[in-house]
Amino acid sequence: MPASPRLADYAVHVEQSRGRRYPEAPHPYRDDFQRDRDRIIHSRAFRRLENKTQVFTNRISDHFRTRLTHTIEVAQISRTIAAALQLNEGLVETLALVHDIGHPPFGHSGERALDLAMRKHGARFDHNLHALRIVERFEQRYASHPGLNLTFEVREGIIKHSHDYSPEEYPELAEYFLAQRPPLEAQLIDLTDEIAYNTADLDDGREARLLRLDEIRREISLFERCFRQVEAEFSNVSDKLKFNEALKRMLDRMVTDLIENTRHRLRESGVKTLEDVRHWSVRLAAFSPGVDAERAQAKRFLSEHLYHSESLRPQKADGEKIIHELFTYWIEHPAALPAGYQAQMATEGPARVVCDYIAGMTDNYILGLYRKLTGRAVGKQS
Ligand code: MG
């Protein structure tokens, strides 16, 4: 593979990758990170994202994001930022495409319910660690090895993109240098994820008529500034168009700030190489303090007015109930699990096996199983 001359020294250079668990011959046309990206796209877990909740379970509009379209938006934003910062676009795109692959059905309420069920068995559910299990073990596509055999840097990014795991608590993750910062390519993902959902959820929330333009304008100062600009430039267009244009500018403002502020922090820190990035005391990819405060304001608004709204409570309660009941059912009736899962019981223990089984399901699939096993339907599925 040719070297990558446009990459900064602080970027991850594919030719210096720590490689795969099972060595493979190089590909003539794609470097290792591009191959990892393609392996993710061709995985079953990736296709299932189409039917996993982002925010809305009841599909009252075809325009709402699913976890798949959200993922594609995160990938798009991440590539722009990676290119501007001379980071490895192939690695960033791969990490963006894989970042939500470990999510169970029913979005965050599903995650909470599964974690609650696992705690009763002295364990936890964590979607990043689950994503690692998916790519290392559950995807069966290659005759020569289990899982997708992804490069070290992609596996490291999967677990380290959103938070730090302590080496004492997770000795099984020791190979991923838990005491060090992840490369900038991984650091970006959590921030681009936020840019994507803080804007998309305003859009979908308004489409669902759960959020009103006047309250968004009143409570999110970054949106309000963008909206005023748009009003001054386009007085004769509909509110809907002004909203869309303002939202686009809000997204652009956050992306630009993330690029410029990260560049500024790199300059100030004197960080030159990937090793410097890894050993720096904090993550260097960051919004400026002003935009970060506005980001937090938007996130708080969405949390209060959308994620924890009365209107979404029934769908969340249904999701939690289904997961709780089915988890309990399979713990009590392990013989009802598919043969492949039963075979894992001896090594993994019943709770982890049931957890893995449920976490892999799409919303539709688990709803269908619930109906079949209990004879009861839940919620309005349109
Ligand atoms: Mg996400």
110-134 residue pLDDT tens: 999 999 999 999 999 999 999 999 9
Average pLDDT rounded to a whole number, residues 158-180: 88
Q: 372: CA distance to ligand 1 center in Å?
A: 31
Long-range CB contact pairs, 56-59, < 8 A, 24+: 56/204, 56/208, 56/312, 56/315, 57/106, 57/107, 57/315, 57/318, 57/319, 57/363, 57/379, 58/315, 58/379, 58/380, 58/381, 58/382, 59/381, 59/382
Q: How far apart are the C-alpha atoms of 138 and 147, rounded to whole Å?
A: 6
Q: 221: CA distance to ligand 1 center in Å?
A: 23
The predicted-structure confidence for 34-45, as pLDDT tens digits, reads as follows 999 999 999 999
The pLDDT assigned to 58 comes to 58
Q: How far apart are the C-alpha atoms of 187 and 161, rounded to whole Å?
A: 6
- Asked if residue 3 has pLDDT above 80, the reply is no
Beta-ladder partners of 53: 66
Q: 209: CA distance to ligand 1 center in Å?
A: 23
Average pLDDT rounded to a whole number, residues 105-111: 91
Burial of 131 from C-beta contacts in 10 A (0-12 / 13-18 / 19+): buried
- Asked if residue 299 has pLDDT above 50, the reply is yes
SS3 354: helix
Instruction: Give me 329's structure tokens.
Output: 């059912």
Average pLDDT rounded to a whole number, residues 289-294: 98
Beta-ladder partners of 51: none
Q: 99: CA distance to ligand 1 center in Å?
A: 6
- Asked if residue 380 has pLDDT above 50, the reply is no
Q: How far apart are the C-alpha atoms of 326 and 338, rounded to whole Å?
A: 14
Q: 103: CA distance to ligand 1 center in Å?
A: 9
- Asked if residue 63 has pLDDT above 90, the reply is no
Please state which of the ranges 12-21, 167-176, 229-238, 335-344 shows the lowest mean pLDDT: 167-176
CB under 5 Å of ion ligand 1: residues: 100, 193
Q: 332: CA distance to ligand 1 center in Å?
A: 33
Q: 208: CA distance to ligand 1 center in Å?
A: 20
* Averaged pLDDT score across all residues of the chain: 93
Q: 111: CA distance to ligand 1 center in Å?
A: 13
Q: 334: CA distance to ligand 1 center in Å?
A: 32
Q: 23: CA distance to ligand 1 center in Å?
A: 31
Place of tokens 């269908």: 368
The pLDDT assigned to 164 comes to 82
Q: Find the largest Cα–Cα distance for the chain.
A: 68
Q: How far apart are the C-alpha atoms of 57 and 68, rounded to whole Å?
A: 14
- Asked if residue 160 has pLDDT above 70, the reply is yes
Q: How far apart are the C-alpha atoms of 221 and 133, rounded to whole Å?
A: 41
pLDDT above 70 as % of the chain: 97
Q: How far apart are the C-alpha atoms of 99 and 294, rounded to whole Å?
A: 24
- Residue 346 has what DSSP assignment? H
The pLDDT assigned to 136 comes to 96
Instruction: Give me 226's structure tokens.
Output: 């963008």
- Asked if residue 214 has pLDDT above 60, the reply is yes
Average pLDDT rounded to a whole number, residues 319-327: 95
The pLDDT assigned to 379 comes to 59
Q: How far apart are the C-alpha atoms of 188 and 130, rounded to whole Å?
A: 20
Instruction: Give me 86's structure tokens.
Output: 């001379």
Q: How far apart are the C-alpha atoms of 151 and 183, rounded to whole Å?
A: 14
| CA 168, chain centre distance (Å) | 25
Q: 87: CA distance to ligand 1 center in Å?
A: 20
Q: How far apart are the C-alpha atoms of 361 and 366, rounded to whole Å?
A: 6
Q: With left for phi above 0 and alpha for psi between -120 and 50, is residue 39 left, alpha or beta?
A: alpha
The pLDDT assigned to 115 comes to 97
Q: 190: CA distance to ligand 1 center in Å?
A: 8
The pLDDT assigned to 24 comes to 94
User: Which residue type is seen at 114?
Assistant: L
* pLDDT level of residue 382 (50, 70, 90 thresholds): very low
pTM: 0.94
114 vs 6, higher pLDDT:
114
User: Which residue type is seen at 292?
Assistant: D
